[in-house]
Structures are given as C-alpha cells and as structure tokens.
Amino acid sequence: MKEYIEEILKQSIKVIDDTHEVDVSMLKNIRVDRTKDLAHGDFASNAAMVLAKTLHKNPRQLAQSIIDNLPKDERIAKVEIAGPGFINFFINKDYVASLLAEMSADDHLGVSKVSRPQNIVVDYSAPNVAKEMAVHHIRSTVIGDAVVRVLEFLGNNVIRANHIGDWGTQFGMLIAYLERKESEQNSSMDLSDFEAFYREAKACYDADEKFAEKARHYVVLLQGGDEYCQKMWRKLVKMTMDQNQLLYRRLDVTLTDKDTMGESLYNDMLPQIVSDLEQKGLAVEDQGAIVVFLDEYKNKEGQPLGNIIRKKDGGYLYTTTDLACVKYRIDHFKADRILYFTDSRQAQHLESTWAIAKLAGYIPDTVSVEHCPFGMMLGKDGKPFKTRSGGTVKLRDVLDEAESRVNNMLEERHNPLQGEERQEVIHNVAIGAVKYADLSKNRTTDYVFDWDQMLSFEGNTAPYLQYAYSRIRAIFRKTEEKPGRIIIATLAEDELATKLQSFSDAVYAVADKAMPNILCTYLYELAESFMRFYERCPILKSEVLTDQRRSRLALCELTAKVLKQGLNLLGINVMEQM
Ligand code: ARG
C-alpha cells in the first residue's frame, strides 16, 4: 500500500505542477510512513510540506490540491490534512482484513522473495583450531546464522563460510604436543579441554628447548607438505571442529562441516597474490618484507602505513590470506555480496585489506563487501565477560548453566511437563534465551550478559515471546471453533492488524542492514500488541458473537504464525506448551 500511495501522490503532484517546477531530487524527499498512532490514519506523507515553497502555496492549501487530484480508490477510506500539512491516509479496514487473510494463507506469510536472488557469502563463527570458542565467536555465530536464515528465506543463494583459524606458526608447537600426549597415553586422545591443551603446549614450548626446537622444525615440515605433520595437523582440525559441530547443533546453528573454509584453504594462492600485487606496482619491498602502502592510512607523522603481505622470512599474514579469500569468494562463488561477521576490532584490518583488493581489481564495483561488526560481551560489572578466575568463558558452560537455570525455574513454577517434553522445553528456552539476548541488542554496541534479564518472562526476551506463542496455541486447544473472516472493529484489533502487516518490512530490513535486532524489536512489539488485544477483546467468552470469535481466532492464528516464523528466522524454537 505504501508504494501505491507514493505513486498516486506523485501523479497528483504532476498534475498540479503544470510548469514543471518540481524536480527528481525534491520528489526524493517525499516520505510515506506508517503513522505511530492510528488516530492519524494508517499512512502519513510530508509531500505538501516538502513542495509548498516550490509550488508557491502554503502547505495546507497544497495538501488540499494534492488530495483533490488523487484518484478514487475503494481501498482508501479517507484522506485528511493534519497539523502543518501532513496528508493522512486511512485504509479501508475490509481491505486490510483481506490482506491479512492472504498473508495467513501464504506459507511465506506475505514476505515475497527478492526479485533478483543474489549469491551471498556470509563469513561467520570462524573459531580457531585447538582453542575454546571465545565470546566473540559466539556473537559471530549466533548473529551470522540469523542473518543467513533471513537471506535464504528471501530466496538468495547463501554460501556459509566458516573462516576458521587453522593455520599459523603455533601448529608446530601443537603438533609436537599432540605427539607427546599421544605417546603418553598410548592411544589417540580426547581434546575436550582446548584451553588446557593450548596452555600446556605453550608451557612446554617456553620451558623445554628441545621441545621448542622440534616445534619449529614441525612448522617448516608442515608448510612443506610433510605427510606426518599434515596428518597430525588434520587431526587437530578435526578434533576441534567435531567439538564445535556439537556446539552448533546444540545451538541450532545451521553450520555444517562442508561450510568450513579455513585460512589454510588459501595457502596455495598466497604466492600468486603477492607477485600479482608486485606486478601491478601496488606492493614494494621494504627492509626485506613485501609491503603495500595505502594513501588513506597514515600514522601520526603523516607517513603512509604499510600493510605487510609477506614477511622477511617468507611467511604470509592474516592480510594476505584475506586478500586471497575475498578474491576467491568473488571468482569461485560469483558472490554479489559478502558479509563478514567479526568483532569491531577487526574493522581496520578488513578495511585496509579490501582497499588493497579494490586497487588490485579483485573486487568489482558491482560486489558489495560489508563488515558487520559487533561489540564486546560484558559481565554485569561492565568489564569483559570472563570467568571468576579471569579465564575465557566456555560456551559449553554457559549453555549448561542456562539449562540448569531454566530447570530450576520450571521447578519453582511447578511445571507438570515430564520426560522428553520437559527436556525440549528446557533446551528451547535456555538456548533461545542466550541467543536472543545477543540478537536483540544493536550488534554494534557492547552488551551486558545478564542471566536474570535474558531468562525473564517479561520484557524483550525469548521466554516472553515463546510464552506468547504457547499462550495463543492454548486458546485453540480450548475451542472447537475455527478461525474465520477477519473483521477489524476495535482499536486493539486495528493495532494488531497493523503490526502484522509490517512483518515483511522487518524481515527485509534485517537482510538489508544485517541486523537481527530489527526483527527482535518487531516480534516484541507484535507480542505486546497481541497482549493488549487479548486483554481487551474477549474470544472464548459466551457473549462473544460467532463471527467476532472467528475473526479474533484468525488474528490469533496469524499472530502465532508470524511469531513462529520470526523466531525461526532467528534460530529460536517455539513450543505448543511450556
Ligand atoms: N578466526 C578469526 C578470529 O578468531 C576470525 C575470522 C574472520 N574472518 C575473516 N575472513 N577474517 O578472530
């Protein structure tokens, strides 16, 4: 409807503007927005205020002329002038009801697919081998996966790229330590505590010169393709990713093994990248290293900052890998858009890497490469989220604690569910709460990890939304009546109907900005509109007329569908009962 109103406004303006004084740039400033208050109609436009000067009229007068030249349309019940010259459009409620009926019958709930599907590479999660998934990996994993789901829902071809840290000089040390561990235990070991493994390996490296020597030797062998070292390295990668895969499944994250495209994938391309940049005159030798100087990045003295792409000893860097990586994604996957979910501290690294890639012609203008940064996760004390002893908080421990807290909550509430059903509720609420806490905040800011807030059944939380859903489903267990034709008669119904219609806008905004919190806010507002409707509009009471009951059931049903679909796009499950 918004597009239609924009269109008829422009046509009307064209008629009034017979001497062609209005140009395209002025038309661009015209807005049609949903009103905040339904007393002002469904949509409002600032058109008359934007063009009054140009068309030599006062805004209210101009608004009247614009209205006089609008075509008659049954779908628009009334058009009014408000305040300094706003034009308010009241949509025919029967028409709104018919839109909602269409939406409910559509398994995509009125969210159309994009007209031109894109190949979109989403770089997310990206933990490091032989290390515990750190907090920034959790954020990347959860936020990235929600955006992936939304982009796919809209019909795009999404390539999940798990850019794991599976290469680097530390692998000599890790291989040497794995070897020692295996010979001690006389069997292959279970690497369930990466933190300890890494710490012990490092301790050996620092204390034992013979071990360190071996470690350095193994790095060289590994880089040279030595079979034994490669085998040990692959073992480390597999042990790490097997464990991460369990976490992904537990988190209902859609990443699988085939999405793993770690740093090592690009090894063979690195020499070629360096020589190409040298040939193009972008890279130069500087004290034995190969460096790219970019004009945009200068140090305090005003000298251009160098980006090393090959060290003096011949080693390559994170930048070199990311250069090959972005080129590969464009050449191999024919990417139209690439999203990188990494924490905000990597902004400068990515920006300078892409600046080089653009100069080298690896990123054509038609491809959009976007850093989707996020802030830190903080403890309640406002300091970075750490264990009491100052260590990295293990994701596994967070999820265990969430589940045990939810279990206690169910006990306190004397929840009667048992067995598998109870386990499912515990899982869905606990995982949902942890994920939603992260998803619902604007990702660019730091966020405070707060158990009480995220597990609350009040406010903008997963449990609140899941509960709203279950509550609606419970209504349907109490009646034989089926949903019928929607009749929008009261303000509460009107507000709910209006909110339901904005689902598509919210989903598209998430895809556009890569910000799942937009969908969270939408779902929360929808649940609130529903609760107000539910308080004010009786459904099952005997005095309610059948037509009205059926209409209200239809609104309940559509609300439940949108909540379920919306939460599903965020990677959160709902339950019929909880
Ligand atoms: N593994 C990196 C880290 O732990 C994140 C990788 C992000 N992706 C990329 N293409 N650089 O910080």
Where along the chain do the CATH 3.40.50.620 domains lie? 267-371
What's the burial of 571, exposed, middle or buried (CB within 10 Å: 0-12/13-18/19+)? Answer: buried
Report the nearest-CA residue for atom 8 of ligand 1: 163
Which amino acid would we find at residue 379? G
Give which of 316, 312, 305 is closest to 285, Cα–Cα.
312
The residue type found at 322 is D
CA dist 468 and 561 (Å) reads: 12
Pairwise CA distance, residues 70 & 61, whole Å: 15
Residue type at 5 in one-letter notation = I
E strand or H helix at 94, and its extent?
A: helix 93-105
SS3 61: helix
CATH superfamily, region 267-371: HUPs (3.40.50.620)
What residues form DSSP beta bridges with 304? Answer: 298
Query: In the block, which residue shows the tokens 């503007």?
Result: 17
Q: Residues 372-394: pLDDT tens digits?
A: 999 988 988 888 888 878 777 88
Distance 342 CA to ligand 1 centre (A): 6
Query: What H or E segment, with its residue span, contains residue 535?
Result: helix 517-536
- By alpha-carbon position, which residue is closest to atom 2 of ligand 1? 126
Q: Are 312 and 287 in contact (CB under 8 A)?
A: yes
Are 372 and 339 in contact by the 8 Å Cβ rule? The answer is yes
Distance of CA 55 from the midpoint of ligand 1 (Å): 55
| C-beta separation of 577 from 474 below 8 A | yes
CA distances, 475 to each of 118, 464, 471, 541 (Å): 41, 17, 7, 12
Question: Percentages helix, strand, coil for the chain, rounded to the nearest 5?
Answer: 55, 10, 35
CA of 449 from ligand 1 middle (Å) equals 23
For residue 165, the ligand 1 atom closest to its alpha carbon is 1
Q: What DSSP assignment string belongs to 10-34?
A: HHHHHHH-TT----HHHHHT--EEE
* Tokens 């009054």, located at residue: 52
- State the pLDDT at residue 135: 73
49: tokens are 């205020």
Q: CB burial class (10 A; 0-12, 13-18, 19+) of residue 136? A: buried
- Which amino acids bring their CB within 6 angstroms of ligand 1? 123, 126, 128, 163, 165, 322, 325, 340, 342
Q: Whose CA is nearest to atom 11 of ligand 1?
A: 322
The size of the chain, in residues, is 578
The CA distance from 564 to 531, in Å, is 16
Contact residues for 397 (Cβ-Cβ < 8 A; gap 6+): none
> Could you tell me which residues come within 8 angstroms of residue 403 by beta carbon, excluding any fewer than 6 positions away?
426, 427, 430
**C-beta separation of 123 from 341 below 8 A:** yes
Cα–Cα distance, 3 to 150 (Å, whole number): 23
Q: Ligand 1 pocket check: which of 128, 139, 163 to mutate, most ligand atoms within 8 Å of Cβ?
A: 163
Helices (H), 360-413: 395-412
| CATH (residue range 395-569) | 1.10.730.10
- Ligand 1 center to residue 270 CA distance, Å? 17
Contacts of 279 (CB under 8 A, 6+ apart): none
**Is residue 435 helix, strand or coil?**
helix
Contact of 453 with 464, CB cutoff 8 Å? no
**CATH of 2-91 given 3.40.190.10, 2.60.40.10, 3.30.1360.70, 3.40.710.10:** 3.30.1360.70
285, 335 contact by CB (below 8 A): no
Q: Quick one: CA dihedral 461, 466, 467, 469, positive or negative?
A: positive
- Exposure of 319 in the CB half-sphere (CA atoms within 13 A): 24
Please, are residues 440 and 525 in contact by the beta-carbon 8 Å criterion?
no
Radius of gyration of the chain from its Cα atoms, rounded to whole angstroms: 29
Q: Hey, what are 413's tokens?
A: 């509430």
Amino acid residing at 273: I
**In 346-411, where do the E strands start and end?**
368-371, 377-378
pLDDT tens string, the chain, 578 residues long: the values are 899 999 999 999 999 988 889 898 889 999 999 999 999 999 999 999 999 988 999 999 999 999 999 999 999 999 999 999 999 999 999 999 999 999 999 999 999 999 999 999 999 999 999 988 877 788 999 999 999 999 999 999 999 999 999 999 899 999 999 999 888 875 556 666 787 888 899 999 999 999 999 999 999 999 999 999 999 999 999 999 999 999 999 999 999 999 999 999 999 999 999 999 999 999 999 999 999 998 887 777 878 889 999 999 889 999 999 999 999 999 999 999 999 999 999 999 999 999 999 999 999 999 999 999 999 889 888 888 888 787 778 888 899 999 999 999 999 999 999 999 999 999 999 999 999 999 999 999 988 999 999 999 999 999 999 999 999 999 999 999 999 999 999 999 999 999 999 999 999 999 999 999 999 999 999 999 999 999 999 999 999 999 999 999 999 999 999 999 999 999 999 999 98
The alpha carbon of 315 and the centre of ligand 1 are apart by a number of angstroms equal to 18
**C-alpha 341 to ligand 1 mean position (Å):** 8
Res 188: pLDDT: 56
Contact predicate 503/442, CB 8 Å: no
Residue 102 neighbours by CB distance under 10 Å: 11
| pLDDT tens-place string over residues 63-92 | 999 999 999 999 999 999 999 999 999 999
Q: Write down the pTM of the prediction.
A: 0.93
Closest residue by Cα to atom 9, ligand 1, is: 163
Ligand 1 pocket test: pick from 264, 342, 343 the residue with the most ligand atoms within 8 Å of its Cβ. Answer: 342
For the record, the structure tokens of 569 come out as 């796009």
From-to residues of CATH 3.30.1360.70 in the chain: 2-91
Measure the CA–CA gap between 307 and 311, rounded to whole angstroms: 10
Residue written as token pair 């990347």: 140
* Ligand 1 centroid to residue 126 C-alpha, Å: 5
Per DSSP, what are the bridge partners of residue 346? none
Answer yes or no: are the C-beta atoms of 194 and 131 closer than 8 Å: yes
Residue type at 529? S
- Looking at the chain, the domain(s) classified CATH 1.10.730.10 span 395-569
Phi-psi region of 446 (alpha: psi -120 to 50; beta: other; left: phi over 0): beta
Half-sphere exposure of 369 (CA within 13 A, CB side): 22
With a CB cutoff of 8 Å and minimum separation 6, the contacts of 67 are 12, 79, 81, 87
Centroid of ligand 1 to alpha carbon of 121 (angstroms): 14
Ligand 1 atom closest to the Cα of residue 322 is 10
Taking CA atoms only, the protein residue closest to ligand 1 atom 5 is: 126
- Measured CA to CA, the distance from residue 411 to residue 425 in angstroms comes to 13
